Structure 1
Amino acid sequence: MRIAILGAGAIARASAAYLLTRDHTPVIWSPSGKGADGYRDTPLVVEGEIRGDFRPEIAESAADAIAGADLILVALPANGHRLVYDHIARSATPEQPIVINAQPVLAGYALEARLRDEGKANPILVWGTTLLRCRAVGASGVRVNTIRKSVDMAMSASGTDAAVALCRAAFGDHFEMRPDMLSISLSNINPQAHLALALANFTRMERGEAWGQSENLTSGVARFLEKLDGERLALATKLGLTVRTMAEHYNRTYGFAIAPLETMAIAIRAEGAGQMGPTTEQSRYVLEDAPFGLAPLINLGRAAGVDMPLHHAGLTILSTLYGRDFAEENDLVGDVSGLVGKRLV
């Protein structure tokens, strides 16, 4: 199966290697034109849960990557999605399914609208998080820390069972279907998890220190997460959605028994080795999850009449630390009142 991967960073690299181990043909396109230079003429070096040297195809344009692809995978930070959606809308043929890896909050609706502008209604599949937990290693490598056993997935109104079958054929039987794309937006715990970790370890990020996420998921951070999770769950309930708790997500990722997050944090720390935290403040934990995760969730809460003070405070603090207004940087999602009005219970 030929899979177009739009993006060339850690997730794109890991996805390409993973697909090659499954005998598919991934074709990477770098929106910047430079992201794949490190492994264009030399192997993509992969370590961790997947090991080896890999040689994915590199496309010179989005149109070249998309042409003839059985599946299109959007695998890049949220601030690059608008550009990529424009390319997809222009180049995709109507039957090509599109997968959004770790969907930014409500991004599936933005892609659906952009396709509609071009008279298209491609099947869209959105994932609640990444299938592969990974981190780039230099310009030509990636470390795959975890291959998740289960990832929540939903499809657009134009989605089909055939599109779901293609996704499973490409990536394996790792997906649990959720009712709709809105449920995925409320199922993604990255905005909350990354907010807590970034705020609690911000000076480490600024100073470029090496720090592990597992050992720094301390009891205090866990208590913060539990309160943030309560706000997310309250919003989901108001919108008539059933989503997993953060403890249930950790159970699925680590296999530990469900317990208060403070207790689960102790077990996660005891396990030791895990993914390293960001060593720069220029990290997707803030630059992606603040404008494209926290901000739209706060807007959803405001439209639904659900108070989310910790989300709001976290976004305000991050904006202050960076000297910018993250609430204004989301170029994907505008007014959410219409979407919310259909869902209030």
Structure 2
Amino acid sequence: MRVGILGAGAIGFGMAAFLNDAGHRPTIWSPSGQRTRTLAGGAPLVATGAIETSFVPRVAADAAEAVADQDVVLLALPGNGHKMAMDAIAPHLQAGQIVVISSHASFGALYLSRLLARRGVSVPIVAWGTTLTTGRQTSDTQVNVNTVRQRIDLATVPAASIDAGHAICTELFGDRFVRRDGLLAIALSNLNPQNHMGIALCNLTRMERGEKWGQGENVTPAVGRLLEALDAERLAVAEAFGVQVRTIFEHFSLSFHVPMASVSAMNQEMHAAGRGGIGPDTLESRYVLEDVPFGLVPTARLASLAGVPARLHESGIAIFGAAYGRDFAGENDLLPAVGLDGLGPEDLKRLATAGYTPDTAV
């Protein structure tokens, strides 16, 4: 299958390597063009770690080329790039294509649904609760893939497209997808923001000093308890909206192939096996710059809408804002564009199920 990948970072490279090895034809587009300049010159993309491969990918010069003639368009950018990418591809998407968002953030699927409805175009939009791979980009042509996840939560907009979305993802990436009950479940299924908040907050000076430190190694019992408490808040919000989501214990066990135990114990086992990963070595990390505005802020907003306390999430947003001197809630450019203002819980459930139509996408 032909797959246009929007993004040329660690996730985009890992996705391209996986697809190429599975016999598909990935095309990579970097919005800035900087990360694909060497690849465009014919250099091979080299993956190491959980995926070992080397191949020369096709490189798209712009969004139109990234979308043209693709069976699937896969968004693999940080959350702060989602709106920009959706604005770029929406004029070029056509009926018969499928869009996959890996991973979904801040109701972006509804924003894209709104853009397409204004054109009178309808395509299945598949939202993943997390990414297929984890890892780190080591150069403009190399990625080290830390792990390939065994299970990924999935939903579609509109919800009636779930069969098509599940089938296409399974054909591309194998039998690893768990259907969830709509976009609200996916909006509350991405554990990266809460986990990265606890890890970054408790290791902030390491990040600021540029130290090299083991991430799993430093999920100590105290940090593990903080992550578990954050998870309890998220689970309470999901329960209030009547959706089922994976727990943090299931997440670590299934994603990183360790027996279920406390969060700290699972991270220590990952570290002992050499799969604990390396923590961020800069304050300019997606753990904060992406996950706070596009992960913690939407969860806190859903909690407020449901009338559920989320003091840890709200405190994390405030503490990071103070430490960075930034208004992270104001940096989310998706939420104001989605059209959630004035919606109640039931209205939001209906919109998350049906998506926008030409009549409602004003």
Letter in 2 for 1:249: H
| Other-structure match for 1:293 | 295
Q: CA separation in 1, counterparts of 2:261 and 2:51?
A: 31
- Aligned residue for 1:338, secondary structure, equals coil
CA–CA separation in structure 2 for the residues paired with 1:134 and 1:270: 17
2:140 is aligned with 1:139: yes
Distance change in 2, residues 1:266/1:30 (3 Å): closer
Corresponding residue for 1:36?
36
Asked if 2 retains the 8 angstrom alpha-carbon contact of 1:194 and 1:285, the reply is yes
Query: CA offsets per residue over residues 93-118 of structure 1, 9 Å max, x none?
Result: 02210000011132212221222222
The alpha-carbon deviation at position 84 of structure 1 amounts to: 0.9
Give the match for residue 22 of structure 1.
22
1:97–1:49 CA distance, 2 compared to 1 (3 A): same
Instruction: Please say if residues 215 and 272 of structure 1, whose CA atoms lie closer than 8 Å, have aligned partners that are also in contact.
Output: no
Query: Does residue 1:54 correspond to 2:76, yes or no?
Result: no
Moved more, 120-129 or 48-57: 48-57
> What do the CA deviations read for 1:183-224 (whole angstroms, capped 9, x no partner)?
011111011100001101111111111111110111110010
Amino acid in the other structure paired with 2:23? D
How far residue 248 of structure 1 moved from its aligned partner, in angstroms, is 1.3
Indicate the SS of the match to 2:89. helix
The Cα of 1:267 is off from its aligned counterpart by 3.4
1:303 to 286, 293, 305: 305
Aligned to 2:73: 72
Q: Residues of 1 paired with 2:255 and 2:215: CA distance?
A: 14
Contact preservation (8 Å) 2:155, 2:162: no
CA contact (8 A) 1:137 1:143 kept: yes
- Aligned length in residues: 344
> Is the 1:239–1:343 Cα contact (8 Å) retained in structure 2?
no
Cα deviation 1:303-344 (Å, max 9, x = unaligned): 111111100111111111111100111111133552623478
Q: Does 1:208 align with 2:221?
A: no
Judge conservation of contact 1:29–1:58 (CA < 8 Å) in 2: yes
Distance 1:326 1:47, change over 3 A: same
Query: Are the structure 2 counterparts of residues 263 and 214 from structure 1 closer, same or farther at C-alpha, using a change threshold of 3 Å?
Result: closer
* Residue 198 to residue 306, structure 1, CA distance change in 2 (3 Å): same
Contact 1:319 1:325 in 2 (8 A): yes
Q: Does 1:341 align with 2:346?
A: yes
User: 1:265 deviation in Å?
Assistant: 4.1
More moved, 326-335 vs 255-264 = 255-264
User: What is the one-letter code of the residue matched to 1:340?
Assistant: P
Distance 1:312 1:119 in 2: 38
Question: Does structure 1 residue 152 correspond to structure 2 residue 153?
Answer: yes
Aligned AA for 1:195?
M
User: More displaced, 166-175 or 184-193?
Assistant: 166-175
Match runs of 1:1-345 below 5 Å: 1-41=1-41, 42-157=43-158, 159-334=161-336, 335=340, 337-338=342-343, 340-342=345-347
Tell me, yes or no, if the aligned pair for 2:131 and 2:152 is still in contact at 8 Å. Answer: yes
Between the two structures, name the one with larger relative contact order (CA 8 Å, sep ≥ 6).
Answer: 2
Q: Relative to structure 1, is the Cα distance of residues 265 and 139 closer, same or farther in structure 2, using a 3 angstrom cutoff?
A: closer
CA contact (8 A) 1:219 1:265 kept: no
Give the distance between the partners of 1:218 and 1:3, measured in 2 at CA.
40
Cα 1:145–1:336 shift into 2, 3 Å:
farther
Identity, % of aligned positions: 44
**Shift in Å at residue 172 of structure 1?**
1.5
Q: CA RMSD in A?
A: 1.7
CA-to-aligned-CA distance 1:149-169 (integer Å, 9 cap, x gap): 111111111525233222211
Q: What SS does the corresponding residue of 1:154 show, helix, strand or coil?
A: strand
Bigger shift: 80-89 or 156-165?
A: 156-165
SS in structure 1 of the partner of residue 28 of structure 2: strand
**What letter corresponds to residue 207 of structure 1 in structure 2?**
R
TM-score by length of 2: 0.91
